[in-house]
Structure 1
């Protein structure tokens, strides 16, 4: 029996809102990558300092994941996700007004703090409004924002920057997020329990900490590092790589970036939908979610190797597109896993822990890349390192992620067998 018409309508509204929030989220992350050379010139900084600006966002974002999940599970997505959207949008506009390196650094930190609830919040919304066997596709849809935004951001943001300057580009993006936050507060209400259900007990600090006793949790935390490392390497340094290493102009780079991110969007949808298909074919839920993750990491990592070694710009773009497809397929699978590996009560907490691991480790991608480029010139070693990390992450998911994560409100929280 299908869901009532009211539930179906709300699902559509929520999916549109989550997609728009995700797009704004990733556009705001993309602005500094697009303005990379201009900001370096205006502030008089080099690749290492730029790498720090790119990385500090991810460190703030990663550590903010730790309280974000618990706050979402306790206070709901309307207040926490909406408040985060408002905070990061103000920070984004502030970055456009920064007059020196330190102010930009501060703005990037606040941007990371504000963005933290976005994707764990999306996973929680899906876990509340969709049945367990059908969560892969909606998770893939809202996570597709992470590739749709980088696909549309380069030409849009490049046009804004060339026409009005990089500062106006930041301010416009920030204002767009503020407007979206007001709409979110106006249309979204957290879904309460049914009339015959009890109000779920908020997750306690002890229960949240108990998630770390599960081997599956650690497999998700460590494995997601490889996904984010590779995705964030391309997200933050790809424009500069195409300009400096491949000799493309700023305008040509904006056009060339569209195809890899469209491939990533397709990968997001395929990764989520393929997991749902496996569940419907009676494959166990945990295995069904792991297949697109491990496959995407392994193949995506291998596709990065020719990017580093080929002299052909065309072949490099093809391999970058394939890497984006498979890495984002893995990302969709990882968020689907977060939405199904535990009860709805702990979805945001589990998802935020996974996201913490991903961005704490992944944050080193832009910084390490900047240091390597400073020391060696080309991007070869940085790309090969990303390939190896992706393959290790595939092993983490394959070997450590096993049984679903359970949490109980007792002093003794059982461990999974090794």
Structure 2
């Protein structure tokens, strides 16, 4: 008989491990996104100091995403094979050193290299988090913890202008990179010291029954290159990659250009733009948490966990499209920021649901692998977004740049809807 997660209470020892894992993932995720957002917050200061055009800044903002996206290809399989503890720990050290190195940049070329290294180091964060959730939570209860660790993304971006703007004004933009790099090194030590994967041999019958609820248990075959390569034979994989491309593209238009957009297009002063740029990402924090909780409820009521989580991604992505259009066209700054807040709320809801979709669409041995492939597709969009947005804004304005993002996100929603129709079987 297959139990469902709703039938079983969480054993106390499992609950403690779940809470510790989620706290650590959120802390690491906040630092991860503080590091990514540092360049966006210091955008004007760096452009002035290094003499960069909007187009060059777009290239610099995208350098991280190219290496991050390409590293998703091997890193998911490595997480499945080696485990999240050491992959994420090593990644934390690499990305923190790269972040600190960014503070030493004095030329455009050096800065690009530092951002490429940052992307390499940050690559294990979300595949490792997906693996942690699949290790410690049963199948139909993975939406809420996925929403929790995804909430670190908008929380880190929301905190970035609030914490880093005063630091930059008091010192210089260089210190924003040094301080966040040091935070990551401390987090690496804490993660490696405290996190452990579950050891089923040492568990009680009740603990094993809880983790194996909803038919998610059993021995997991060892991951291999052939098994990873086989994922590309399924249209579910391609639907998730193309769908996340659209969602992340539009999200990264705002993530990389929102402070600059508010200053350049909306003519806000630095203090007001900093506050206005933080509010939407606070809404995004709420979006990730609410979406994770709601997707668990939808998945339990849906025909299958896959259809429930896929439909949640499609609806939230279409909502991003719907609210980006008035954000681009409204004359009122208040209306524009309010619409952007809704878009970022839905963007983070879409991301949380997309990562929880990976835990039910993939076979048990390849959860991190499929999640990383989806993330690879997404961050190809994330890499393209700042470049294309910068050049469109430089040539015309930010209005067609935002509308372009909306069109790409719509195509992503359709990819999820029509291609992601069944889970991938275990090989």
* Separation in structure 1 between the aligned mates of residue 147 and residue 412 of structure 2, nearest angstrom: 20
Cα shift at 1:199: 6.4
Q: Is the partner of 2:359 in helix, strand or coil?
A: helix
CA contact (8 A) 1:141 1:269 kept: yes
* Separation in structure 1 between the aligned mates of residue 384 and residue 191 of structure 2, nearest angstrom: 32
Cα shift at 1:333: 0.8
Cα shift at 1:198: 7.9
* Separation in structure 1 between the aligned mates of residue 201 and residue 142 of structure 2, nearest angstrom: 20
Specify which of 16, 29, 35 is matched with residue 23 of structure 2. 16
Cα shift at 1:405: 1.1
Matching of residue 181 in structure 1 with residue 188 in structure 2 = yes
| Structure 1 gap segments, 5+ residues each | 409-418
Per-residue CA deviations over 1:197-231 (Å, capped at 9, x if unaligned) read: 98644211111000000011100000000111011
Who is 2:247 aligned against? 227
Matching of residue 215 in structure 1 with residue 235 in structure 2 = yes
Who is 1:302 aligned against? 322
Who is 2:364 aligned against? 344
Cα shift at 1:345: 1.5
Who is 2:139 aligned against? 132
Matching of residue 29 in structure 1 with residue 48 in structure 2 = no
Cα shift at 1:278: 1.4
Who is 2:111 aligned against? 104
Who is 1:403 aligned against? 422
CA contact (8 A) 1:193 1:199 kept: no
* Separation in structure 2 between the aligned mates of residue 42 and residue 201 of structure 1, nearest angstrom: 53
* Separation in structure 2 between the aligned mates of residue 140 and residue 198 of structure 1, nearest angstrom: 25
Matching of residue 394 in structure 1 with residue 413 in structure 2 = yes
* Separation in structure 2 between the aligned mates of residue 291 and residue 241 of structure 1, nearest angstrom: 32
* Separation in structure 2 between the aligned mates of residue 133 and residue 200 of structure 1, nearest angstrom: 18
* Separation in structure 1 between the aligned mates of residue 302 and residue 417 of structure 2, nearest angstrom: 19
Per-residue CA deviations over 1:160-196 (Å, capped at 9, x if unaligned) read: 1111110001000000000000111111122234369
* Separation in structure 2 between the aligned mates of residue 86 and residue 356 of structure 1, nearest angstrom: 22
Who is 2:304 aligned against? 284
CA RMSD of aligned residues (A): 1.4
* Separation in structure 2 between the aligned mates of residue 300 and residue 98 of structure 1, nearest angstrom: 35
TM-score (norm 2): 0.93
Who is 1:93 aligned against? 100
CA contact (8 A) 2:89 2:188 kept: yes
TM-score (norm 1): 0.95
Cα shift at 1:307: 1.3
Matching of residue 325 in structure 1 with residue 334 in structure 2 = no
Please give the residue correspondences for 1:234-383 in structure 2 after superposition, counting only pairs within 5 Å: 234-376=254-396, 378-383=397-402
Who is 1:7 aligned against? 14
* Separation in structure 2 between the aligned mates of residue 272 and residue 252 of structure 1, nearest angstrom: 31
Cα shift at 1:44: 1.3
* Separation in structure 2 between the aligned mates of residue 280 and residue 199 of structure 1, nearest angstrom: 24
* Separation in structure 1 between the aligned mates of residue 44 and residue 299 of structure 2, nearest angstrom: 46
- Greater displacement, 134-143 / 334-343: 334-343
Cα shift at 1:104: 0.7
CA contact (8 A) 1:128 1:344 kept: no
* Separation in structure 1 between the aligned mates of residue 319 and residue 326 of structure 2, nearest angstrom: 12
The 1:277/1:77 distance shift into structure 2, 3 A limit, reads: same
CA contact (8 A) 1:126 1:135 kept: yes
* Separation in structure 2 between the aligned mates of residue 160 and residue 125 of structure 1, nearest angstrom: 34
* Separation in structure 1 between the aligned mates of residue 16 and residue 306 of structure 2, nearest angstrom: 29
CA contact (8 A) 1:144 1:265 kept: yes
Who is 1:415 aligned against? none
Who is 1:414 aligned against? none
Per-residue CA deviations over 1:307-349 (Å, capped at 9, x if unaligned) read: 1111110110111011111121111110000111123311100
* Separation in structure 2 between the aligned mates of residue 35 and residue 127 of structure 1, nearest angstrom: 37
| Structure 2 gap segments, 5+ residues each | 1-7, 203-207, 209-216
CA contact (8 A) 1:63 1:356 kept: yes
Per-residue CA deviations over 1:84-134 (Å, capped at 9, x if unaligned) read: 011001100000011211111110000000000100110100000001110
* Separation in structure 2 between the aligned mates of residue 146 and residue 356 of structure 1, nearest angstrom: 17
Matching of residue 44 in structure 1 with residue 63 in structure 2 = no
CA contact (8 A) 1:65 1:116 kept: yes
